[in-house]
Structure 1
Amino acid sequence: MHELTREQARRIAVRAQLLDAERPGDVVEVAEQLGAIKIDPTATIAPSELTIPFSRIGWGYEPGQLTKAAETDRTLFEFDGQFHPVSLLPMMWTRMKGRPLRPATIEYLDANARFRQDILAKLRADGPLLAADFEDTSVLQRGNESGWYGNSEVPRMLELLMRIGEIAIAGRAGRTRRWDLAERVYPKGLPAFGYDDAGLALEQRRLQALGIARQKSSWSGVGEAGEPARVEGSSWTWRVDPEALAGLDDDPGGRAAILNPYDRMLFDRPRLKELFEFEFVLEQFKPKAQRRYGYFVHPILVGDRFVALLDAELDKKKENLVVTAVHELTELDPDEREMIDAEISDLAEWLGVPVVYVGER
């Protein structure tokens, strides 16, 4: 059982997420360590798949790297709303193909067997294709109760066939996905894994990305990967990545980082509160009158502390990064303010626009 101070635990978490002073060199290195880069169209500043790499690499990050890695080099692949490194594909594809299906899903696939084969045959003949290129020949419809689908069953069937490993996303036309047979998108000769072994390997990679996580937490999905640890002041039993422990004394120092609300660092809210004493509430889905900080504020990390929230928006018409507020969660000293201002300036330089402050600062 490893005994860690809270500061050591935070340092492990920050470093695992590539948010310390030692920046990675490119987007593939970011994806290899994080395991996933979230894709989301909300772009008050820029979409998450762009700001997440920027938070690690800095102003030198070129967004075209992501498209090249996913569509040309095939070092990344898109699955279920995230970009993943291809090193995870053998385990993930094993889990896709062996995924236990709910009775309702089995019923849907059985009833729509012809529809399923129509999609696969069209891809085989003409792929890659957009969802709009397919005819809806479904027999059983599920409707649009969730609000995510239109009247056509095509998007639902495409998503389902992706999740069971039969088709894959070959690229994008703008923000619209292109679909093809998985065997034509994914590399050939992938290492073989058993279903359970693949699950254990994925748990280890999730722990690598987090550094430290609560044992058997549904938020983290690390299971019993790594080694057990206790953290000063916490009653939880933790799992810690042995490699993160080995590098604990080799500390490159901290820096300021502006995080997209969908950043992996923020996903595990209970861990965020327990280790960082930070309660993050995304106000995107709250009525305007109930918002305290703003529609889509970006948390600001300085060193191993969340110290502020950035309320800012890219004004594409005026070509400015408009900063409405930097909400301080704790009193900032002059050095912290300077680091935050510098990171905001770097963000604006990366966007190719000047910074305009219009509110509290």
Structure 2
Amino acid sequence: MRPAEWWAQAPFHRWFARRWQRRGVDVDAPEARALVAQVERQGPSTSLELGDQRADPALRGSWYGPKRSRHLLKALWDAGHLMTHHRVGGRHAYDLPERVLPQGAGAADVADDEALHRLVVRRVQAAGLLRPAADGAVWSLPCPRAERDRIAARAIARGELVALDVEGTTYWTTPEALAALEEAPDSAAAPAREVRFLAPLDPLMWDRGGVARLFAFDYVWEVYKPQARRRWGYYVLPVLWGERFVARFDAKCQQGTLTILAWHWEPDISPARLPEGLAEALESAAGAFLGYLGATRLVLPRGLGREARRAWQRAAR
């Protein structure tokens, strides 16, 4: 969400405030208001500089640690009373929204219906193409599905969204995305296809059921699975070549060395003989990836195939 549209987060802020209150943390309580006042006086400050630093035995083992002040700060952040100004060693440096946002971006008293309308449209814009039937976690909206469908129907009537039927499955998209698809050249006339390494949480990967239907690519992010239950690896990146997924790989980068722990080609890709143009596109993507990571050394796994191995090796030179 762009800073200028922060006003649309109002339903989220209210929803989180109610959620925290059910857990015994009230963002309007005197201790919470005291934290906000402290931030107002001090300016951007981390959790180590705010509130009571003593541990609460009742909170030991909690995701946010044993300090009640940290729970209060997270609740205030979720409720929109504080924002992240910057980070210090991974910690939020909290500040008041009016000192972080552009002037007027944090408009108050926005009607939920108006804000939810913007959230629904923005969610579809972010993904490009999104199924109404996608899991609730994919939509990530602070409203029931029936309300979302009502808002989406209104957005479709206004021309802000478009409903598509793709082989019997309904998707929502935006007029801009649809126009881009219609203007795209035919694959036979298209320029050389690029390889892209996608992050597991890239918007294209949000609706994994939709990805499976559109691309026949079954992707699972296994970072939260126990190691013994992982099929692909800890932090696996999908590999997109043009309009098709061709591989996925698990890697880590430490002290300037990129180690590819495992590389898995899709079943229709033979590592012994890659499709024409794939090796060259892979080399370009690998070079950009190494540069982004600042890696100067490379460790490759088995299973890549000769052409792909050479592409990575050339990229590392």
Aligned amino acid, residue 230 of structure 1: D
**Gaps spanning 5+ residues in structure 1: where?**
1-83
Do the aligned partners of 2:6 and 2:106 also contact (CA within 8 Å) in 1? no
The superposition leaves residues 228-268 of structure 1 with CA deviations (integer Å, 9 ceiling, x where unpaired) of: 21102x3x322121121222232265421101222222122
Do the aligned partners of 1:324 and 1:360 also contact (CA within 8 Å) in 2? no
Residue matched to 1:204: 121
SS at 2:71 equivalent: helix
Residue matched to 2:144: none
Aligned amino acid, residue 291 of structure 2: E
Structure 1 segment 1-361 matched on structure 2, within 5 A:
84-92=1-9, 94-99=10-15, 101-102=17-18, 105=21, 108-110=24-26, 113-136=29-52, 143-144=59-60, 147-190=62-105, 192=107, 193-215=110-132, 217=134, 218=136, 219-220=138-139, 223=149, 224=152, 225=155, 226-232=161-167, 234=168, 236-251=169-184, 253=190, 254-316=193-255, 319-329=256-266, 330-331=268-269, 332-354=274-296, 355-361=298-304
Higher mean Cα deviation, 286-295 or 176-185?
Answer: 286-295
Do the aligned partners of 2:127 and 2:206 also contact (CA within 8 Å) in 1? no
CA pair 100-216 structure 1, distance change in 2 beyond 3 A: farther
Alpha-carbon distance in 1 for matches of 2:53, 2:264:
52
The superposition leaves residues 80-122 of structure 1 with CA deviations (integer Å, 9 ceiling, x where unpaired) of: xxxx422331212x33454474376167345982211220121
Alpha-carbon distance in 1 for matches of 2:24, 2:124:
35
CA pair 286-194 structure 1, distance change in 2 beyond 3 A: closer
Greater length-normalized contact order (CA 8 Å, ≥ 6 residues apart): 1
Do the aligned partners of 1:95 and 1:199 also contact (CA within 8 Å) in 2? yes
Alpha-carbon distance in 2 for matches of 1:198, 1:336:
44
Do the aligned partners of 1:261 and 1:298 also contact (CA within 8 Å) in 2? yes
Alpha-carbon distance in 1 for matches of 2:28, 2:119:
32
Do the aligned partners of 2:132 and 2:170 also contact (CA within 8 Å) in 1? yes
Do the aligned partners of 2:17 and 2:26 also contact (CA within 8 Å) in 1? no
Instruction: Mark the structure with the bigger radius of gyration.
Output: 2
Runs of 4+ displaced beyond 4 Å? 109-112
Alpha-carbon distance in 2 for matches of 1:160, 1:141:
19
Do the aligned partners of 1:141 and 1:153 also contact (CA within 8 Å) in 2? no
The superposition leaves residues 287-339 of structure 1 with CA deviations (integer Å, 9 ceiling, x where unpaired) of: 333333222121101112111012222131xx222223321013141422331
Q: What's the TM-score, normalizing by structure 2?
A: 0.75
CA pair 129-272 structure 1, distance change in 2 beyond 3 A: same
CA pair 334-144 structure 1, distance change in 2 beyond 3 A: farther
Q: What's the TM-score, normalizing by structure 1?
A: 0.67
